[in-house]
Amino acid sequence: MGRGVHVLFAYLWYSESVTPDPSDPGRRPRPAPRTLGDLGYAALVLAGDTPSIEIEGLFRSDRTLRAIVLDVAGTLYLLTRDQLDHRMTGRLGYGRALNARVKAADLLTSAGCGLAPSLDLRAAAAALLGRPEEHRYADLLVLAPAGPRVVPVSEVFEGLSDLFRQEALHDPLTGLANRRLLEELGPPLVGTTGSSPTAVLYIDLDDFKVANDTFGHRTGDAVLAVFSARLRACTRPADLVTRLGGDEFAVLLVDVDEATARSIAQRILESLAEPFSHDGHDLRLTATLGLAMSNDIDGEDPAARLESLLRHADAAMLQAKHEGKRRLGRIDPFLPATRFARQALIRRRLPHALANAGFSLHYQPLMDIATGSCRAVEALLRWEDAVLGKVSPDEFIHVAEHTGDIHAIGRWVIDAACAQARRWADAGSPRAISVNVSPFQLAAGSLGHDLHTALARHGVPTSLLNIEITETAAVTDLPSAAVQLRALIDAGIGVALDDYGTAYSSLAMLRDLPLTGLKLDKSFIDTIDTDPTSAILVAGVLTPAKAMGLMTTAEGVERVAQLAVLRELGCDTAQGYLISRPLPAQELDNATTAQQTAAS
């Protein structure tokens, strides 16, 4: 099948399957058939004592008739054309002579097998496949309340195929099109330069995660479902409304000018004036929108134009959030690209990083100040993208936290670090590896499971893995964080408080959190060798930390004089450019080998 024919079929299928019903205030899409009662046709019912010759005459006179239903003493049986032909033909050609005078009920070769109309298509297909092979493809008798129905087997599997397709191309929570369907149907709707104007509205609910965490995911799901219904009500039947994921939505507006697009956006904003009621709670939420018009986009490739439209609309939404939320954003396409456009592109490229090996780990050694040895490293995440080039963690980590990709990224980092720890151990040069943990990984409550799963998969002892958390991560939910960290420490995994001094800077954190280590932020170390006050402050942190048995590390060491002061103050380890820049594992191994050779 050619691509053009496939696209036309897909568009017709979508239009047929999701055309809103004007009588339905929620304007939910019409679903694919889900039960046997949705299929087949009303059956012709005849008495079981009808002469067989009369039955044969019916089939001869109507070549479209597939089967009839016989009522035998109140029980319904299905008699198909194939069954009749088999009996009337007979093995030696005498079937018609033998059966000419019998009643229709005598032609039945097996007991009736009526199925309930409420049986879903998955169960119906399983029942069909469980039948003897000679009966597997025979039509079904469905005992519907309005009368028996005949369902061809082909309709069951065609309906099941439609159901699977709808589920694959629609969001299960809201019933809206998902990103896959948008990418399939969007390009022909966007067209090429000069086509009928289209637009994209990119919609993000403001502070939805706060409401979700406060009232629970059940309430959050209910809010998303209600908002989706409001979104449909604000758009037109021809528009393609999509849930991209989480609390992000996109609407592809077809054959629209900018004034109409802005009017639809305003209706969406106004629809949020009514609170969302669920389980006795009235939640008031707002949204921020971004608008992009197809007239702004050059190029003849429809898929690339759709991608550009989404990216521009996303960037406009991010800019509007920066300007105060609760509004519609619009980026002038003739101005140079903004940081918001880059953020939007980062968000769209993030899923490709995991799928296409875009991430890698570099390792920065931690030097034992007393001995000069480096038997531990910190794993630092790097991303190089085919479109974006090198993307720093400062750019993409907070985007990943917003989109929820941080959980998959965090699991990848833990697994990759454990795999490298295994390789170093096998090579006879074991190094403990520290990985950074996001606040969202702690909040999810699955950090321990992720760590132990990766350790077990690669056969790595817990002593070779440490985690680093920030003060911000810890105080998000201090009691929960404390419970999780205590379990990790009891299992032998080290836990260090990273970037100490940049957030809440409270010694109470050292008291309230189970820890094995403390890392002083670079801002503490920058002037430690030139400013006596800085040295006093560092000493004031190191003293209680060491009294509590914590391993202390200084970050950002770049000068020999800094290292000398840290040695005098009793700091345990140091990391920074003076010791080594972060390096890929192989380069780190080569540098270590070169240093050992030079020392010998």
pLDDT of residue 263: 95
Inform me whether the pLDDT recorded for 21 exceeds 70: no
Residue 22 confidence (pLDDT): 33
Query: Of 315-324, 457-466, 484-493, which gets the smallest average pLDDT?
Result: 315-324
Sorted by where each begins, the domain ranges of the chain are 3-29+170-335, 36-160, 356-599
* Side-chain half-sphere CA neighbours of 274 within 13 A: 9
Q: Does residue 176 contact residue 144 with C-beta atoms inside 8 Å?
A: no
Which of the pair, 535 or 404, is modelled with greater confidence? Answer: 535
The region of weakest confidence among 113-122, 126-135, 265-274, 379-388 is: 126-135
Q: Which has more pLDDT, 482 or 488?
A: 488
Q: Look at residues 429, 371, 435, 406 and name the one whose alpha carbon lies nearest to residue 591.
A: 429
Dihedral class, residue 459 (left if φ above 0, else alpha if ψ from -120 to 50, else beta): left
Query: Is residue 125 a contact partner of residue 160, using CB atoms and an 8 Å limit?
Result: yes
- Nearest-angstrom CA–CA distance, 338 and 218: 37
Q: Which residues contact 550 (CB under 8 A, 6 or more apart)?
A: 510, 515, 516, 517, 518
pLDDT confidence of residue 113? 61
Segment 499-527 shows an average pLDDT of 81
Q: What percent of the chain has pLDDT over 70?
A: 87
Cβ atoms of 198 and 191 within 8 Å: the answer is: yes
Q: Count the Cβ atoms, other than its own, within 10 Å of residue 288.
A: 24
What element of type H or E holds 201? strand 199-205
Token code pair at residue 550: 């914590």
Per-residue tokens: 486: 């205590």
For the domain bounded by 356-599, which CATH number is listed? 3.20.20.450
Domain 36-160 CATH superfamily: CBS-domain (3.10.580.10)
CB 574 within 8 A of CB 563: yes
User: What pLDDT sits at residue 412?
Assistant: 96
Q: Is the pLDDT of residue 15 over 50?
A: no
Q: pTM for the complete prediction?
A: 0.59
Highest mean pLDDT out of 322-326, 362-366, 395-399: 362-366
CATH architecture of 3-29+170-335: 2-Layer Sandwich (3.30)
pLDDT tens digits for range 377-413: 999 999 999 888 899 898 888 888 877 889 999 999 9
Instruction: Identify any residues that bridge with 390 across adjacent strands, giving them in sequence order.
Output: 384
Q: What is the pLDDT of residue 90?
A: 62
Q: What's the burial of 464, exposed, middle or buried (CB within 10 Å: 0-12/13-18/19+)?
A: buried
Q: Is 545 exposed, middle or buried (0-12, 13-18, 19+ CB in 10 A)?
A: buried
Name the region of 175 (left: φ>0; alpha: ψ -120 to 50; beta: rest): left
Q: Would you say residue 475 has pLDDT above 60? A: no
Task: Answer whether residue 502 shows pLDDT above 80.
Answer: no
Per-residue pLDDT for 30 more than 50?
A: no
User: What was the pLDDT predicted at 95?
Assistant: 62
What's the per-residue H, E or C state across 372-406? CCCCEEEEEEEEEECCCEEECHHHHHHHHHHHCCH
Please write the tens of the pLDDT for every residue from 68-83: 889 888 889 888 888 8
Helix, strand, or coil (residue 495): strand
In this prediction, residue 20 has a pLDDT band, given cuts at 50, 70 and 90, of very low
C-alpha 505/C-alpha 521 separation (Å) is: 11
Residue 292 three-state SS = strand
CA dihedral 116, 122, 127, 128 (to 10 degrees): 110
Q: What is the DSSP string of 144-175?
A: ETTEEEEE-HHHHHHHHHHHHHHHHHB-TTT-
Give residue 201's pLDDT band: very low, low, confident or very high (50, 70, 90). Answer: very high
pLDDT band at 31 (very low <50, low <70, confident <90, very high): low
Return the SS3 of 302: helix
Residue 499 Ramachandran class (φ > 0 left, ψ -120 to 50 alpha, else beta): left
Model confidence pLDDT, tens digit, residues 32-41 = 567 888 888 8
CA distances (Å), origin 491, targets 187, 461, 466, 495, 592: 52, 10, 11, 11, 30
The predicted-structure confidence for 431-465, as pLDDT tens digits, reads as follows 999 999 988 888 888 899 999 999 999 999 999 99
Q: How confident is the model at residue 348 (pLDDT cuts 50, 70, 90)?
A: confident
DSSP class of residue 294 equals G
Q: What is the pLDDT of the chain when averaged over all its residues?
A: 84
Place of tokens 């009966």: 135
